[in-house]
Amino acid sequence: MNIINLQNAAQQDITFEPKADTISASPIQTFIDSLRHRLSVSRQPKALKPFSPGDIKILLLENVNQSATNIFQEQGYQVESYNGALTEDCLIEKIKDVHAIGIRSKTKLTAKILEHAKKLIVIGCFCIGTNQVDIDYAASIGVAVFKSPFSNSRSVAELVIAEIITLARQIGDRSIELHTGTWNKVSSRCWEVRGKTLGIIGYGHIGSQLSVLAESLGMHVLYYDIVTIMPLGTAKQMSTLNELLNKADFVTCHVPATPETKNMLSAPQFSAMKDGAYVINASRGTVVDISSLLTVMKAEKVAGAAFDVFPSEPANNASGVYNDTLNNWTSELISLPNVILTPHIGGSTEEAQCVIGNEVAHMLSKYINEGTSVSSVNLPEISLKTLALDKENTVRILYIHKNIPGVLKTVNDILADHNIDKQFSDSRDNIAYLMIDISSVSQDEIKQLYDSLNQTNAKISVRILY
């Protein structure tokens, strides 16, 4: 990673208090102002930047929330944003010149794209998952990846609750009928959700939030997870997936996209379900085998289904829905009764996107400004306290390297003429990250240190902050 330039940044205090003339009395603005105040970066006595902030270029795709743009602009960074994803060729061209990129779920950052990212320092996924990024390749070139693991959990959980009630009462069908001029008041196969059993596959941030909401509606909650997790309320963990499927009236999936979860619900699992059960997928589109689901729905084994995610999805709203992107089964799904299809909107609320924008933007800013990698999904988690104001000749070295023997000795030999104030190193698989604060460093020596560290055999990337 090339150092940006070697000029001292001016001393600055970093806060995110809203100006008085921008405060609004609206509930959303009040929520945003309160959130930004709680997440504001603490007063920093010394700015850890070997660059003019205006040199840092941020590329934001897929309509990342304005709260992130505000944070980056307050830092002084250049921000370029787009409402949708970019084509591969366009993305390759854009990524050559940026230091950070923010994406959501549609942008695919493959090794082919990332190999063109000569200045890239960090990637921010403004969403829960990172399966759209080749995180191993990113680590191999010293690029940190961050995500927002739970900021939209409540929004997704509320959508699932809405879908449970909508399926139980066949609200979707009744609404479509009335929109097309048919009055069809029926009670057959319409149920209260009180007293019914909800089976949650994956009891993480979303699954556990959903558990609490479902119990407040009077539902019984069972869950299955590959690890033992303490239940909330009166929920009970099942030892096997089939045990959950045998007992649940509603089955909802909240697992990541992995080889183990691909087609996690397929023909054998549908056979194990109670007759008349409902299936909901608001996790990843590969989790449910839709062809098998179509078969059991036509046989009325499954009484209804709700999908917020699909095996493949359009890159943006302009791409449209009824095309090959959603594959041939789209027309079959929409022809079946009691099927709810939504365009991946589980986390698409103003509150969730604001929280995600703030959270990920702060992570990226701290990594750019301080080297802090806490919560990174692909690098060791490293953090040191901010440099003290009274140590004007102190610099911070950020050295990402191959995890091989002898590296610390090599680095410390290079730094032998300087006092090491603080040093912290950790590793993750084949990648290690070393953060060192050294003092008594003159301006002339900074470039020499950078060149020496950059020539070491184990080096992946080097940055020096001062």
List the single range of 156-160, 264-268, 308-312 with lowest mean pLDDT: 308-312
Asked whether the predicted pLDDT for residue 154 surpasses 90, the reply is: yes
The CATH architecture to which 380-466 belongs is 2-Layer Sandwich (3.30)
Per-residue pLDDT band at 389 (split at 50, 70, 90): very low
| Average of per-residue pLDDT across 201-220 | 97
pLDDT at 14: 28
- Res. 5: pLDDT tops 70: no
pLDDT for res 67: 95
Are 279 and 305 spatial neighbours (Cβ–Cβ below 8 Å)? yes
Residue 43: pLDDT over 80: no
* Beta strand 395-402 pairing with 431-439: antiparallel
pLDDT, mean of residues 22-30: 46
**What's the pTM?**
0.78
Mean pLDDT rounded to a whole number for the chain: 87
Q: Does domain 1-152+349-379 have CATH number 3.30.200.20?
A: no
pLDDT confidence band for 329 (50 / 70 / 90): low
Which two three-digit tokens encode residue 175? 């609404």
Cβ neighbourhood burial of 87 (10 Å; 0-12, 13-18, 19+):
exposed
Count of Cβ atoms closer than 10 Å to residue 380 Cβ: 22
Residue 143: pLDDT over 90: yes
What is the pLDDT at residue 320?
A: 56
Q: How far is CA 218 from the centre of its chain?
A: 32
Question: Do 57 and 99 meet the contact criterion of CB atoms below 8 Å apart?
Answer: yes
- What's the confidence (pLDDT) of residue 149? 84
Mean per-residue pLDDT, 216-235: 97
Residue range(s) of every CATH 3.40.50.720 domain in the chain: 1-152+349-379, 153-341
- Percentage of residues of the chain with pLDDT beyond 70: 85
Q: So what's the pLDDT on residue 282?
A: 96
Q: So what's the pLDDT on residue 328?
A: 62
Sheet containing 57-60: which strands, arranged edge to edge?
Answer: 78-81, 57-60, 100-103, 122-125, 144-147
Q: How many residues does the chain have?
A: 466
Position 277: which residue type? A
pLDDT digits (tens, 9 = 90+) for 65-120: 999 999 999 999 999 999 999 999 999 999 999 999 999 988 999 999 999 999 99
Report the pLDDT value the prediction gives residue 11, as an integer from 0 to 100.
28
Check residue 385 and give its pLDDT: 80
Question: What is the reported pLDDT for 407?
Answer: 95
Residue given tokens 């990846």 in the structure block: 145
As its CATH architecture, domain 153-341 has 3-Layer(aba) Sandwich (3.40)
pLDDT of residue 216: 97
* Bigger pLDDT: 425 vs 18: 425
How confident is the model over 246-279, as pLDDT tens digits? 999 999 999 998 999 999 999 999 999 999 999 9
Between 26 and 38, where is the model more confident? Answer: 26
Instruction: Report residue 189 as tokens.
Output: 């196969």
Residue 391 has what pLDDT? 61
Place of tokens 């059993």: 197
Q: Which residues are catalytic?
A: 284, 313, 344
pLDDT at 40 over 70: no
Token look-up 């007992």 returns 247
Q: Which residue has the higher pLDDT, 50 or 204?
A: 204
- Say yes or no to pLDDT of 188 above 80: yes
Question: What is the Rg, in whole angstroms, of the alpha carbon atoms belonging to the chain?
Answer: 25
Q: Please answer whether residues 425 and 364 qualify as being in contact, where contact means their C-beta atoms are separated by less than 8 angstroms.
A: no
The C-alpha atoms of residue 238 and residue 222 are separated, in whole angstroms, by 7
Q: Where residue 9 falls among pLDDT bands split at 50, 70, 90?
A: very low
153-157, 320-324, 332-336: range with lowest mean pLDDT? 320-324
Q: What is the largest CA-CA distance in the chain?
A: 85
How many other CB atoms are there within 10 angstroms of residue 400's CB atom? 27
CATH 3.30.70.260 boundaries in the chain = 380-466
